[in-house]
Chain A
Amino acid sequence: MSTEAQIVSTAIPLTISDAVAALRSGNITAVALIEEMIARADRLDSTLGVYLTRTDEAALDAAAAADAALATGDPVGPLTGIPLGIKDIIATKDAPTTAMSLILDPSFGDQGDAPVVARLRAAGGVITGKLTTMEYAIGCPDPDKPFPIPRNPWNPEHWTGGSSSGTGNGVAAGLFLGGLGTDTGGSVRLPASWCGISGLKQTFGRVPKAGCVPLGFSYDHIGPMARSARDCAIMLEVMAGHDDADACSVDVPVGHYVSALTGSVEGLTLGVDLSLCDLPNADPVNTAAIRAAIEALAAAGAQIREIKLPYYEQMCTATMSGLQAEAFAYHRKDLQERWSDYGAPTRMAIAAAAMTTAADYVQAQRARRTAVRGITEVFTDVDAILTPTCLVAAPLLETLNFADLIESICTQYWNATGNPAISVPMGFSGGLPLGLQIAGRPFDEATVLRVADAYQTLTDFHLAVPAIATEGLDA
């Protein structure tokens, strides 16, 4: 046994739900769990590019407090002792917030914890640090800037997806058990898909986004990322709820997402739109994987109905052009004065909105309302809708191109309409994970999570661990 193997045990729970049980039964302590996470970060972070800032000491202190709370036998929060990472565009009180950019005013971080981070801490969550992103949550990695390049734990020559890159590869490699990403056009679901974990973009307005550096004001979401849909449900119950600090926050009751996980799809009708798989850049292995997922859910009792997502292409455009226009309004002055301080992929993606007119932007917002009406009609006949999350597995870093990336993802539609959508692992292509996207009615995260959880009772793709996370360890 190597020294490293003595330090880094594989007997650590893979999921939040298992870790909660282990902590409460006394099979593990929160301090031991955090020490393990720190050891993994020491071993893997320089390869994978997960962290921008680690808060090891604060995490150990919080873990000790969690152990003390657990020892009393009194009721504790649902995330007590659970290690969680935070994407570095979300403010936290104990670490700087950079948006992985040379541009962001450091005073942004002076506001303390964003409401959603405060909720995680209040529930007992232990924050392990701030995670890599794309600069301001848009673009691609830029090796010319002084930030880590996020790498896919299934093959570090490939990208993680973005922009919640560090949350995706960190959960997949076991550096923490869950974390926060943000999703404006797919930035939770894309890295979830490509890193082989689960990631939820809940209904727009369900989780307050105050304290988060904006990208597209009318498209942004802060969402949970973890191994399983059950873990996402545990996190969402903590994260959800109205907050006046976010003008887009919606004051509707928070659901009981965990208790809604019946493990069954009996009685549900699932719409499927496989027309996306006919696009020329679709990987046939990906298409076969989603067909297999549909068959598995049908065999488990779901009724399957073919549907067509109304105005699909236009809504993808409404999301991309709309978020770019909103981002351009935020960044215009800095782009004028500090063009070269931005990474090239980010400045190009945002400044493209200079070629979008005011009427185009307003028309995108009008078309969104029409599409919402259309998709609402579709949801009168189905309880959830299945599509691939992406058309391909994670691309090589060296061939990465933002325009090609946008053409290969199937996530933007749900940012235009605001419906909840989750990505869960559904197989592999060339050794790289693939994602199944499940969307639902507004504020019906319970059904989305129920379908995802039921799928994960039928499959174990979400429990697969990349070899890099276990190399050199005892089995």
Chain B
Amino acid sequence: MTPPSSEETVRVMLAAAGITPTDEEFATFVADYPLHRSKLDTLYTVPTIKEEEPQTIFSPYV
């Protein structure tokens, strides 16, 4: 199966989020996407232990 292009991916993800940028802005998102994705992928290169918990805040109390 051919992987989706950046344009296809960005179009789907923006649509899923309900965001409708201008054509020029859409083109910018498409152009930026490969670098955006590659930077996010580096997060998975940090040697976290398998059970590392995220640094999020949750409390059963308000």
Contact = CB atoms under 8 A, between A and B. Distances in A.
A368 B40 contact: no
Given A247-B59, A365-B54, A403 B32 contact: yes
Contact of B42 (A314, A365, A371): A314
B29 A355 contact: yes
Main secondary structure of the interface of B (DSSP, over half): helix
Given A355-B9, A365-B54, A367-B43, A336 B32 contact: no
B46 A336 contact: no
A355 B13 contact: yes
Contact of B14 (A247, A354, A372): A354
B20 interface: yes
Contacts of A365: 54-56
B40 to A, nearest CB: 5
Interface residues of B, number: 34
Interface in B12-29: 13-14, 16-21, 25, 28-29
A339 interface: yes
Contacts of B36: 352, 355-356
B5 interface: no
Contact of B46 (A314, A352, A403): A314
B18 A369 contact: no
Given A218-B57, A351-B19, A364 B14 contact: no
A354 B55 contact: no
Contact of A332 (B9, B17, B28, B42): B17
A360 to B, nearest CB: 5
A366 interface: yes
A351 to B, nearest CB: 5
Contacts of B44: 363
B53 interface: yes
The range of chain A's interface size is: 35 or more
A248 interface: yes
B14 A317 contact: no
A314 B43 contact: yes
B40 A354 contact: no
A426 to B, nearest CB: 29
Nearest to B47: A370
A330 interface: no
B11 to A, nearest CB: 11
B45 A314 contact: yes
B57 A247 contact: yes
A339 B43 contact: no
Contacts of B10: 355
A467 interface: no
Nearest to B49: A370
A465 to B, nearest CB: 40
B46 A311 contact: yes
Interface string A179-221: 0000000000000000000000000000000000000011000
A250 B30 CA distance: 41
Interface string A359-383: 0101111111111100000000000
A302 interface: no
Contacts of B49: 370
A366 B40 CA distance: 13
Nearest to A371: B46
Contact of B43 (A247, A351, A363): A363
B48 interface: yes
B57 to A, nearest CB: 6
Nearest to B15: A354
B29 A368 contact: no
Given A339-B19, A354-B19, A355-B29, A364 B43 contact: yes
Which are the 8 A-B pairs with shortest beta-carbon distances?
A365-B54, A354-B17, A367-B46, A336-B18, A317-B39, A365-B55, A366-B52, A368-B55
Interface of B: 9-10, 13-14, 16-21, 25, 28-29, 32-33, 36-37, 39-40, 42-49, 52-57, 59
Given A360-B43, A365-B55, 7 more contacts: A317-B42, A321-B39, A321-B40, A321-B43, A355-B9, A364-B43, A369-B54
Interface of A: 217-218, 247-248, 311, 313-314, 317-318, 321, 328, 332, 335-336, 339, 344, 347-348, 351-352, 354-357, 360, 362-372, 403
15 contacts: A311-B46, A313-B42, A314-B43, A314-B45, A339-B19, A355-B10, A355-B33, A355-B37, A356-B40, A357-B40, A360-B40, A363-B48, A366-B48, A366-B55, A403-B32
